[in-house]
Amino acid sequence: MPVDRVDGPAKVTGAARYTAEIVLPDLAYATIVGATIPSGRIRRIDTGRALAAGGVLAVLTHEDLPRVAEPPHLLPSLVGAAAPGESFFPMQDDAVHYAGQPVAVVVADSLERAQHAASLVRVDYARTPAVTTLDEGRDSAYEPPTLFGGLMPARMSRGDVDAGLADADVRVDVSYHFAANHHNAIETSATTADWDGDRLTLYDSTMGIRATQLTVAHLLGLHVSDVRVVTHFVGGGFGSKAMTWPHVTLAAMAARQVGRPVRLALTRPQAFTSTGHREEQEQAMSLGAKRDGTLIALRHHKLSLASPFDDWAEPATATTTQVYACPNTEGVHRLVTGNTMTPTFTRGPGESVGVFVLETAMDQLAYELGVDPVELRLRCHAETDPRGNPWSSDGLAECLRVAASSFGWARRDPRPRMRREGDWLIGTGMAAAAYPVAFIMPTQRARARIYAGGDAVVQTGTQEFGTGVTTVMTQVAADGLGLPMEAVRFEAGDTDLPNTSAAVGSSGAMMVSAAVHNAATALRDQLVAMAVADSGSPLHGAEPSDVEVHDGRMRLRSRPEVGETYGEVMGRHHLEDAEALGSWTPPPPDTPHGLLTFGAQFAEVAVDPEFGLVRVRRLGGAFAPGRVLNPKTARSQLIGGMLWGMGQALLEGNRMDPRQGRWSATSLGDYLVPVNADAPDVTIDLIEVDDEVVGPLGAKGVGEIGQVGVAAAIANAVFHATGRRIRELPMTAELVMDPP
């Protein structure tokens, strides 16, 4: 049901308190001093002037910061364990591995004084050669055994790709370069740390409070029970807050040092070097097809820049080798060790870029074959996953047909560079989209409590970072309990509550709703059982399955006039409240089902070929995320994802200056994201598909599928408009403009 956000009024009136707005008595302010070189050693740090500056409480460096209890080991936060963003903790020795790496932390009684003192810290470096671009490290590229904290193989293959390509009637070979991307959530990451003896409370802007709790406890050698993490509102994450980065633990260490609560908020420039990024990368794909469009070979290779600490790459080839039926596939990731921090999840990790490559190659194949691009996708549709397992739910063909119809695709003249309106060439393009459903999270838990007055509180340790989860879970809880939404308050954002995993990988709606639903229905069932066993109840002796609950009143399905309220049965039992826990354990990762969420993306662009400008006029998407829990918040998520994809296609990219080993853009004035004036009309079709595998409500999630495929649809539209294929993202003016 489309429901307004329950936290909307608090957000638009400013009443909502974000992490950096939490005020504690005696609060002090910490700021990081980041390394200005990408590689080397610290010869000397002069903290004298900083320590002498007004209001300064402490200046910590590697010389006096305590050692961490155990070194961090990267593991994706969805797994539910400690989840440091990199297998590295700064300020443990004098080594510098990347620019921006914290080399000192300054604490003062105001933010301004902390920042001023930080500017007075003098660091004398002995610089050593660094690698910060693919070009510099290409010759030393290697194929790691595994990726992603060891969870995924770096090479996946099936059949014989060489033979398949040799057999093909038509072959398409493409290669692309992708600039690094940054998340740029409007709220930069912030942590406020407050010690009470050996117990630590952290207010943290995170997509996973549990990940923060476990990571900080691990690094500081604390009992997990002594670390509480609270977050009420988070101003966007997009992956930058999916892992726990060093600044969080540094805030706790600084607070312990000064004996006061400490807030550490990253500045915008620091956010470019403190919470990961999407790595600079190149991808190449070869498709081999029969004349009728049947795919017989797909080779997909990725080369990307990783850190000195981790074999990290967004896994680009797992989805691209599943979307279409193809007997011979090969996906390989190769890495270059670079002097950057460990890259991280960035919205649509892997798929965002990998599916771009697949879907622009498929567009090219469609032109080679003279087949309509939608028709080609339909012909290549995979009835099962590559292991032969049925999809938990599909919907790709419906998405393609519905979105094509909404968009008006049928009237398209496929010939490139045929439509002109004044200075503008007009083109349309499309792409399929797919994003995995990952079953790597542990058991998810929630608690439901109802009071005799008919009001309920439902709790779980998830967090609201703009997705609408608070609203959706209020709906799910109300539905499960049979109460009106106004009678239910959903509480989250506190590790004292029952545990759920970090809401990453588009898993939030699925896993959190499953736990909340199970808690709510367990409580309902408990009270129904009480009523049917109670000789004083009008429902006495009824089969529980014959009882439904509506507006807080239990009643017989067949005779709705027979029934009573929760409060009535609780009153007879002298109960002021009743409570139940609910949990959900995902199927095993090797469950015999194909696990993808599907969609289709369409774009119309106007290209000024003289100036090289691309303006997106229309975006249309259709998505099949299982059951849609709240069409309003789902559409918002999908629109946001699609505009992200537009930014990826046209604007977003950062270059390293290899001489300095620093990013060239470290502000929102230099790193361009779309503004409202860039946003076109966006239409969305939601295709509901039944899914009995992904949890009791059959919801797959919409956090990332909206972002996947958009850039490919835009690139294909640019080709249609201009007749030129651009082999880099973002597609900036100098790439798009007609050559002189």
Positions marked catalytic:
704
Q: Which is nearer to another protein, 54 or 536 (CB)?
A: 54
- Shortest distance, position 155 Cβ to another protein, whole Å: 34
Both structure tokens of 686: 């939601």
Q: Which is nearer to another protein, 523 or 651 (CB)?
A: 651
- Shortest distance, position 657 Cβ to another protein, whole Å: 5
3 state SS of 606: strand
Q: Which is nearer to another protein, 127 or 559 (CB)?
A: 127
Cα–Cα dist 719/611, whole Å = 16
- Shortest distance, position 674 Cβ to another protein, whole Å: 6
| CA distance readout (Å), 386 to 58, 319, 321 | 58, 11, 8
Q: Which is nearer to another protein, 379 or 662 (CB)?
A: 662
- Shortest distance, position 453 Cβ to another protein, whole Å: 47
Least Cα distance to 216 among 194, 248, 193, 256 occurs for 248
Q: Please, which residues bridge with residue 662 across strands?
A: 657
Cα–Cα dist 244/480, whole Å = 33
Least Cα distance to 653 among 313, 267, 178 occurs for 178
- Shortest distance, position 31 Cβ to another protein, whole Å: 11
| CA distance readout (Å), 631 to 490, 553, 725 | 19, 27, 36
Least Cα distance to 339 among 149, 512, 134 occurs for 134
Q: Which is nearer to another protein, 35 or 622 (CB)?
A: 35
User: Which residues are CB-neighbours of 282 under 8 A, at least 6 positions away?
Assistant: 134, 175, 176, 177, 178, 302, 303, 304
- Shortest distance, position 178 Cβ to another protein, whole Å: 17
Q: Which is nearer to another protein, 410 or 677 (CB)?
A: 677
Which helix (H) or strand (E) element contains residue 209?
A: helix 209-220
Q: Which is nearer to another protein, 36 or 591 (CB)?
A: 36
- Shortest distance, position 465 Cβ to another protein, whole Å: 25
Least Cα distance to 193 among 250, 146, 153, 144 occurs for 250
Contact 516, 447 (CB under 8 A): no
Q: Which is nearer to another protein, 389 or 660 (CB)?
A: 660
User: Which residues are CB-neighbours of 53 under 8 A, at least 6 positions away?
Assistant: 108, 113, 116, 117, 120
Cα–Cα dist 242/149, whole Å = 14
Across 109-196, the runs of DSSP E, i.e. the strands, are: 122-127, 146-147, 152-153, 155-158, 170-178, 190-196
Interface contacts to another protein, rule CB under 8 A: 36, 54, 112, 115-116, 119, 269, 423, 610-613, 615, 650-651, 655, 657, 659-660, 662, 664-667, 669-670, 672, 674-678, 732-734, 737, 740
User: Which residues are CB-neighbours of 172 under 8 A, at least 6 positions away?
Assistant: 285, 286, 287, 289, 361, 364, 365, 368
- Shortest distance, position 137 Cβ to another protein, whole Å: 18
